[in-house]
Amino acid sequence: MTIRIYDLAALEDDRLFSPYCWRTKLALAHKGLAFESIPWRFTDKAALEPTGFKTVPVIVDGERTVGDSWKIALYLEENYADRPALFGGPQSRALSLGFKNWVDRAVHLPMLRAVLLDLYNGLAEKDKPYFREAREKRFGMALEAFAGDQQAAIATVSSTLDPVRATLTEQPFVCGSAPAYADYILFGAFMWTRSTSPAKLLAADDPLHAWRERMLDLHGGLARKARGYPV
């Protein structure tokens, strides 16, 4: 049965931009599971209410509803254990949790600053007041002030990712010779920026750029086919 995923959309139904939803969709594709996106917007709180969750992604797999991208990854690994592994064992799962926390806390912030104003301008009109109010409360300043200097934010993204760059000069994927969940964690962030902004975050000769190209091609070009900017 096709798994349904509540998937954050901008103005257009197919401009799906949540980094967490992208992790989940790539994890589903990795497991070879068919899924269908349900476009969801920040102000569609009522649509999410029956699931019991307040953020996306949420997946509905038959009778089971699971929220939070990390919990979904654990659920998929446990319940579809006969399919390709997202982690491959408890040690790699534990390391992936550390990698996730690093991406969420150290990588997302400069990435968001680099694309924030484009992201905001591309939202559905009904979401704009909610987004501005919620994020200005979170950041303690106006969106424009938080975004700051875009080139400085892009430089911070690049320096923050230097350890991954070094890794990708030794091996084609974060997880080694083939992609797995840690790759999807970081790549989800690049789908966030790609779907919302034409900003160029990576130079063409950056090993991260080559990795992102490989990721865009995975699973029949799932990510490359998605609506976004050619970055």
Ligand X SMILES: N[C@@H](CCC(=O)N[C@@H](CS)C(=O)NCC(=O)O)C(=O)O
Contacting residues for 97 by C-beta, under 8 A, at least 6 apart: 70
Using an 8 Å Cβ cutoff, are 210 and 17 in contact? no
By CB under 6 A, residue 120 contacts ligand X: no
Give me the 129-168 binding string for ligand X, x by CB under 6 A, dash otherwise: -----x----------------------------------
**Binder to ligand X among 41, 57, 111, 112 (CB under 6 A)?**
57
**Least distance between ligand X and beta carbon 170 (Å):** 28
What are the angstrom distances between the C-alpha of 102 and each of 71, 116, 182? 17, 20, 11
Identify the three-state secondary structure at position 30.
helix
**H or E stretch at 3:** strand 3-8
Stretch that binds ligand X, among 66-74, 89-97, 110-118, 200-208 (CB under 6 A): 66-74
By CB under 6 A, residue 8 contacts ligand X: yes
By CB under 6 A, residue 68 contacts ligand X: yes
The identity of residue 41, as a single letter, is: R
**Least distance between ligand X and beta carbon 136 (Å):** 13
**Binder to ligand X among 3, 7, 16, 18 (CB under 6 A)?**
18
C-alpha of 173 from chain center: 17
